[in-house]
Structure 1
Amino acid sequence: MAYASRFAGRTMIVTGAAQGIGRGVALRAAAEGASVALVDRATLVDEVAAEIVSAGGTAIAVHADLETFAGARHMVAAATETLGAVDILVNNVGGTIWAKPYEHYAEDEIEAEIRRSLFPTLWGCRAVLPGMIARRSGTIVNVSSIATRSIHRVPYAAAKGGVNALTASLAFEHAGDGIRVNAVATGGTEAPPRKVPRNAGMQSDQEAVWYRAIVDQTVSSSLMHRYGSIDEQVGVILFLASDEASYMTGTVVPVGGGDLG
């Protein structure tokens, strides 16, 4: 695989890069010439970085807890020190931890969902902005979800609604600084079983019924009546990260087979 093309000479941070969509973004970005900082709490991210390097690309693994501002600052500092100024940030951390009707969520579960699916994007943007403002150049792509209209994951939906609002407001605020900010609202996506689950607890029979309802609703809401692939999400994320989307900012692009979220 040749490592050169539309991201040649660019430094890109990809968060949540150990598995799933984040891993797919990191691998393809590196294949298209980006120097990639792969960020995750899971040490599995080391394997993904090694895969890129063994194929001739440039990548580092960064271990960070992006639910904290300290973790986000560490991420940007590590990327900058090793790879150079950050040109592109892909905020991919997030995901439903529990799936159940809202009245069954405990207080600590609601807070955990918001910390998991909103704060990493808030902190990531805050940490990378000063450098982008100083250079008057930068691109941010936030991974949101069409689940802002769905069932059995209200706290997650609220978090992703926050990501959408952040995307629009940040784009408005910093277009004059040469910074573009867009988001991809991912639909249901087929992916290998997670090596590090978001929820390590055993799923009860009732919880399995509630989760199945999410799957059924997602397929029903899609005009194509199917889940998408990781590659179908990655393609749009990297389009928004590239110069091909140079006249796009403040936009949330739904990639859900016709479900607009």
Structure 2
Amino acid sequence: MESRRFEGKIVLVTGGARGIGRGIARRFAAEGGSVAVADRLESVEETAAELAELGGETLGVAVDVTDKAQVEALYARVEERFGRLDVSVQNAGILRISPLERLSEDEWDATLDVNVKGMFLCCQQAAALMRRQGGGGRIVNSASAQARDGFVYTPHYAASKFGVMGMTQSLAKELATDGITVNAFCPGIIGSDMWEYADRAWGDLLGDYARGELMAEWVDGIPMRRAGTPEDVAGLVAFLASDDASYITGQTVNVCGGLVMS
């Protein structure tokens, strides 16, 4: 029998129109949740319509998570539509790859703005709504394997993901007495648009790699010998958002096939 752990639950997923975020949103919808999807992409409403085919109520909202007014409006719209919020998944993020001497302030600022400031703004609104309604809640943040082990040509991205881990721990301590758990997940190499870009950009910088060769080389170094899928990540996120994880908070959990083990 298919699990319906999120029947009657309201879930918000940022960065939910494609890739890992879309996989996460689909998992919650498949398990009975009503899902709001937020993203900068115009396809966000199409994604919401697709999720509705799984049976639950859905909402698609175009939002820039670095804009406080837009984030406030997003959570207000979720509350107005659904009446409450049980799970907030902060998945919106960007990756830019650049050697140190070519890394611009604009690239640095944009990465930290989306990956750290955007997450902070969403966590702030999610916590306020969950505290106001009572009954606890689940906040789940997207980190990265680079929260464990920073990689070459991405100091700005690594810094942002280490920041996510620290923010998660701090908020978990602050919100624990409200019954709100705060955890994070660390994807490794996941088959997605972002990793197609990473294969091209790192491949050009690290050597004369044809498209797909660097990705294949890295995948060969994963103990499980395969890239992950959005569905692999979604399984972990759904667990962290479920009642089974009610005594887990402040944790950052790897989902990477053994690529990093700390």
TM-score (norm 1): 0.88
Distance 1:75 1:156, change over 3 A: same
Distance 1:112 1:237 in 2: 26
Distance 2:251 2:234 in 1: 17
Distance 2:131 2:214 in 1: 40
Q: Does 1:100 align with 2:98?
A: yes
Q: Does 1:234 align with 2:234?
A: yes
Secondary structure of 1:228's match? coil
Q: Does 1:153 align with 2:182?
A: no
Equivalent runs, 1:160-179 vs 2, <5 Å = 160-179=161-180
Distance 2:32 2:191 in 1: 26
Structure 2, unmatched stretches of 5+, are: none
The match for 2:33 is 34
Deviations 1:143-185 (A, max 9, x none): 1101231222110110011110010010011101110000001
| Deviation, structure 1 residue 205 | 8.4
Distance 1:110 1:56 in 2: 41
Structure 1, unmatched stretches of 5+, are: none
Secondary structure of 2:184's match? strand
1:227 aligned partner, one-letter code: A
2:123 aligned partner, one-letter code: C
RMSD between superposed Cα atoms in Å: 2.7
Secondary structure of 2:88's match? strand
Distance 1:125 1:17 in 2: 16
| Deviation, structure 1 residue 217 | 7.8
Equivalent runs, 1:1-261 vs 2, <5 Å = 5-96=4-95, 98-134=96-132, 135-148=134-147, 149=149, 150-191=151-192, 193=193, 206-207=204-205, 209=207, 215=215, 218-219=218-219, 222-258=222-258, 259-260=260-261
| Deviation, structure 1 residue 100 | 2.5
| Identity level (%) | 37
| Deviation, structure 1 residue 221 | 5.6
| Deviation, structure 1 residue 209 | 4.5
Deviations 1:133-152 (A, max 9, x none): 23141100001101231222
Distance 2:55 2:18 in 1: 20
Bigger drift between 205-214 and 245-254 goes to 205-214
Bigger drift between 218-227 and 15-24 goes to 218-227
TM-score (norm 2): 0.87
Deviations 1:199-252 (A, max 9, x none): 9xx979845849989747853663334321111111001110111111100000
Distance 2:72 2:44 in 1: 18
Bigger drift between 6-15 and 63-72 goes to 63-72
